[in-house]
Amino acid sequence: MSVVIVKYNAGNIHSVELALKRLGINAQLSNDPQVIQNADKVIFPGQGEASSAMRYLQEHKLVEVLRSLTQPFLGICLGLQLMCRHSDENNTSCLGIYKTDVKRFNQGLKTPQIGWNKIHYPKGVLFKGIKPGSFFYFLHSFYAQKNEQTIAETDYGLFYASAMHQDNFYAVQFHPEKSGKNGEQLLKNFLEL
């Protein structure tokens, strides 16, 4: 099985690579459209800022490539946010795979949200073997609003979409690669799609 991690100038790619190695997968890092299109599975992780990440994707002709993929695709953290329509972070137009927008957490909340939080109402194959109320590791100041594609929610001052699914596109706001056994199970579920 060939797994490609999209390289797009957003941090945290190597911890995903290491998590996959622990599962016996040697993933390839690439920003080459052809390599990405030919992969069996594509992972789109990231930490960073939305507008510069989108600019990189545009400059490297990856926007349409990512939108048109038909194999299982997993966005992580910033990856999830970039799969939405629009982000309030520097007023950024995103990929539009999910029909929802990304908002900044209310000013009264400590941001970024850093650390362990629960997922509620998990559903679908991505959460096979993972119980409601399971903890995952989060690190973010922006969140995706709940929508029809939401498959898990998290409460941080409000309930937001902490996981989404549309066709072959899956995304999680938390970091499975830093979430112990639950994160390992989620990655395993994705790899088995």
Domain ranges in the chain are 3-191
* 148 tagged catalytic: no
3-class state of residue 70 by DSSP: coil
User: How many alpha carbons fall within 13 Å on the CB side of residue 87?
Assistant: 24
* 89 tagged catalytic: no
Report the chain's terminal Cα–Cα distance, integer Å: 11
Cα 39 to Cα 5, 36, 89, 154: the distances in Å are: 10, 5, 30, 31
DSSP state, residue 22: H
pLDDT of 9: 78
Q: Is the pLDDT of residue 156 over 80?
A: yes
Retrieve residue 167's tokens: 């066709």
User: How much is the average pLDDT of 67-88?
Assistant: 98
Catalytic residue among 77, 84, 89, 94: 77
pLDDT of 107: 80
Catalytic residue among 84, 94, 165, 175: 175
Catalytic residue among 49, 59, 177, 192: 177
Euclidean distance between CA atoms 45 and 57, whole angstroms: 13
* 94 tagged catalytic: no
Tell which CATH architecture fits domain 3-191: 3-Layer(aba) Sandwich (3.40)
Q: Is the pLDDT of residue 169 over 90?
A: yes
